[in-house]
Amino acid sequence: MRQEQFVARYQAEWQALEQWLAQRGEHPRQARRQPVHDGLDDGDFPQRYRRLCQQLALARRRGYSPQLVARLQQLMQQGHTLLYRTPRPQWQRALAFLFADFPQLVRSQARSMWVAAALFAVPLVGSFALILWRPELIHLLMDNARIAEFERMYDPASPNLGRDSGTNWSMFGYYIMNNISIGLRTFAFGLIAGVGTVFVMLFNGVGIGSVAGHLQHIGHGDPFWRFVAGHGAFELTAIVIAGGAGLQLGMKLLAPGRRRRIDALVEGGVIGAKLCVGVAAMLLVAAFIEAFWSSIAAVPAWGKYSVAAVLWTTVFVWLWRGGRGAADAD
């Protein structure tokens, strides 16, 4: 084969490989969000690299021009460096996921996240206002024993806020198990065509709103708000993200588009699993704050609300800006 024919046959492959290597080599995390070039996906790279090595060997054996051989040699060296470079330590990859990849993934599913937020916030605010207007309706939503338990937990005279008894560490473990189980169920119920996730979000919104309304009505509102203000930044946001993960899974099942339903469901499952890892981390932080900070009754309201403002701002900025400067960091 003459050199002109050889170049014409493989030129498009080399150009796509050059573009891919330029992106992955300079800004790997940012590049993963960019569209692939000419069908070259990350999973195609090992096969393309082997083809390039074969093409380089052919070019050398056939005595093609030094310029062509040098070009293929440079591409091969860049590909070898990228393919066999030492991976980052696990802790670095975990931090990169939490501070960059996870916020990016949340923003990529913005539509599902906003729907989940509405499904949670609207019934929460609505039930809160309804119970303030018609306090007796609380008895339709929960039994007397449960109501009495909440009243004891948030009694202004109680030495601890938000719990009857238990050490900080025992409650920390309880909060972890309880909160993470709620988050995982919220996501997993998306398999029921998204209906399960919708129900969980509505149920949680109504439950929290009605309890808040009842405690506000009987004069226990101050202990309640001081307790939930801090850890709520991570806990409530995590529940919404878990809901968004479940909704996008349900949409993949109901409307797979041009793909096979099983392929769309697998894609939704991968996205949801990654989101759930971040949700679990958020709920771990929330459990720590809830166990060791939220329950301290001695801290005045201004102190609790000041810390809460910092925590809510941190969560908002993290999810809004996290990962946007990843290219600069690389």
pLDDT of residue 40: 62
The residue-averaged pLDDT of 183-194 equals 83
* Mean pLDDT of the region 267-271: 89
Mean pLDDT of the chain: 86
Q: From the CB of residue 239, how many other CB atoms can be counted at a distance below 10 Å?
A: 27
Write down the pLDDT at residue 35: 44
Measure CA of the first residue to CA of the last residue in the chain; give whole Å. 42
Any residues with CB less than 8 A from the CB of 5 and at least 6 apart, and which?
none
CA distances from 81 to 9, 22, 74, 87 (A): 26, 12, 11, 12
Task: Read off the pLDDT band of 328 (50, 70, 90).
Answer: very low
Give the pLDDT confidence score for residue 192 in this predicted structure. 84
Q: What is the mean pLDDT of residues 218-237?
A: 94
Q: pTM of the full predicted structure?
A: 0.74
- Report yes or no: 196 and 189 within 8 Å, Cβ to Cβ: yes
Dump pLDDT digits (tens) for 113-131.
999 999 999 999 999 999 9
Q: What is the pLDDT of residue 130?
A: 96
* Chain segment 133-179, per-residue pLDDT in tens: 999 999 999 999 999 999 988 988 877 777 766 678 888 888 888 88
